[in-house]
Amino acid sequence: MKLTSYRYATRAWLIGLALATLARAATPAAAPAATPTPAAAPAGESEAARATAPQELFPFLDLFASCLTIVESEYVDQVNPTNVMYSALHGLMRALDPHSEFMEPEATEELKIETEGEFGGIGIELGIRDDYLTVIAPIEGTPAAEAGLMPFDQIVKIGDESARSLSINEAIKRMRGKPGTVLRLTIQRRVQERRELKDFTLTRAVIKVTSVRDVAIIDPTNHIGYVRVTAFDKTSASELQSAIDGLVTQGMWALVLDVRNNGGGLLVEAIKMADMFLESNTVIVSVRSRVLRHEQVFRASGEGAQYRMPLVVLVNGASASASEIVTGAIKDNQRGLVIGSKTFGKGSVQTVLPIGNNNCSLRLTTAKYYTPSGVCIHGTGIYPHIEVQLTMDDEIKLIEKRSNAFRKADPAQLTKAERAHYDMLCAARDTQLERASDILTALRVLGNGGLERFMQTPGAPAVPGAAPVAPPAPTNAPPRDDDASTD
């Protein structure tokens, strides 16, 4: 087909699509099987009105078709119509946000394989920060963590190619491959006031995550337990329940739940995890969108394990997505204290939508997550009740201290330099965990009612001496309940 014919064929196609969109918007969605909380649109506003009026797109379609016509007739080389159209669609989606993308037929097929099969990777959660591909967190026990990749490392090159203009999904595609194959990365890391480039050679592996780690009574005198959750996979909630039950049999009175450096995972596991600590029918998280059918609200079921012990949640800048959902639910429902530093702010929902008749699709951001008080997680993050900052150097020491290499090291077999480094790691202090333990000890001394005294009210200090944190203003009413997935 000649590009010059696109001007008319494409406009006719868009008119048909626009009419179909208006018809869908005017048709009430079928009621879900569950008992949802209805999402109220602003007075007098329908779903069709909230969407862009299709006729507003027509002048731009003419502009686009005119551009294609000029390219076809004037460009120095002959162009492939398919490549031109696909490139335009890639650019359109890339301009929206880092998580939306146009998927050609090959990419659509690969997505099906990824959701049904097995693939090799290096084990990192990725985001975009300062326009760079950024490591949110390396997943513990994976090639990325064992090689020494750290939160906030910026990926400069994948192999020999620059990663500067890649979307998150394009980068993930390049990093995945057959288990046992080699991947080279170049990262930029901020060290104090300077930036350093580092090269890493990693071997891809099938990523199998043990998401609940370091289960222990950290203070036998005051019966304070500790659990660290490193990811939200399909067994994380059941693993956490088993860990807590084991600590309870050891006499645990209070719990420190550590979701630092946890880049997220499955929404359903975050819901189950928050459900363990909240009263029945309490809002956990809501999903809000410009399109009403994408909106949902998730509430605690009151079923299964219910834990009522004093609770502290530890977070940092590498706590993202599902970690932020759990943290926001605990904080906004005043179920426990949040200690650490502000979380990453990754809270958007992507939906895969088929388009056309040649197996193309869009991975499109269709909604965002909101905490029970109406705070949008995406781009904002969760602010702790009590801020305790760690330097990047301290963060690196603590991550290295948890590595298999450190745990398996035999001090007697180390060289002098290795022993000095080992002793430095042994001496590294986790001041965020120390603060959590101190506060829970104080609560135990205060006795019943002590926890309420430490709960934060909006704009007021959580603890004497703690700086007040003013939460963002709540948004409109919570929406209805359905299914959703994290990205």
Distance, in Å, from the CA atom of 175 to the CA atom of 187, rounded to the nearest integer, reads: 14
Q: Which of 153, 233, 332, 430 is catalytic?
A: 332
- Residue by residue, pLDDT tens for the chain (487 residues) are 454 454 555 555 444 444 444 444 444 433 333 333 434 434 334 444 455 556 677 778 888 888 888 988 899 999 898 888 899 998 999 889 888 889 888 887 776 655 555 568 898 888 777 778 888 878 877 888 888 888 889 999 999 889 887 878 788 888 988 889 999 999 998 776 778 899 999 999 987 778 899 999 999 999 999 999 998 988 999 999 999 999 999 999 999 999 999 988 889 999 999 999 999 999 999 999 988 888 999 999 988 778 999 999 999 998 999 999 999 999 999 999 999 999 999 999 888 889 888 889 998 999 999 999 999 999 999 999 999 999 888 888 888 888 777 777 888 888 888 888 888 989 999 999 999 999 999 988 877 555 555 444 443 333 333 333 333 344 333 333 333 333 4
Indicate if 234 belongs to the active site: no
- CB burial readout 362-395, b (16+ within 10 A) else e: bbbbbbbbbbbbbbbbbebbbbbbbbbebeeeeb
Q: What is the pLDDT of residue 218?
A: 97
State the Cα–Cα distance between residues 359 and 481, nearest whole angstrom: 30
pLDDT digits (tens, 9 = 90+) for 165-179: 787 878 888 898 888
Through-space distance between the first and last CA atoms of the chain, rounded to whole angstroms? 37
321 is catalytic: yes
**Rg of the chain over CA atoms, in angstroms?**
25
Catalytic residue among 167, 211, 319, 321: 321
Alpha-carbon distance values, 306 to 60, 161, 263, 369 (Å): 55, 50, 25, 24
pLDDT at 452: 55
pLDDT score recorded for residue 236: 93
Write down the catalytic residue from 272, 331, 346, 397.
346
For each of the domains in the chain, give its residue range(s) and CATH number, in order of start: 3-79 (no CATH), 118-206 (2.30.42.10), 212-390+440-453 (3.90.226.10)
Q: Is 346 among the residues known to form the active site?
A: yes
Q: Which one, of 158, 182, 181, lies nearest residue 171 by Cα?
A: 158
Helices and strands in the chain, H and E counts: 15, 19
pLDDT in tens, 258-273: 999 998 888 999 999 9
Distance CA 284, CA 297 (A): 8
Model-wide pTM > 0.85 = no
- What is the structure's pLDDT at 425? 87
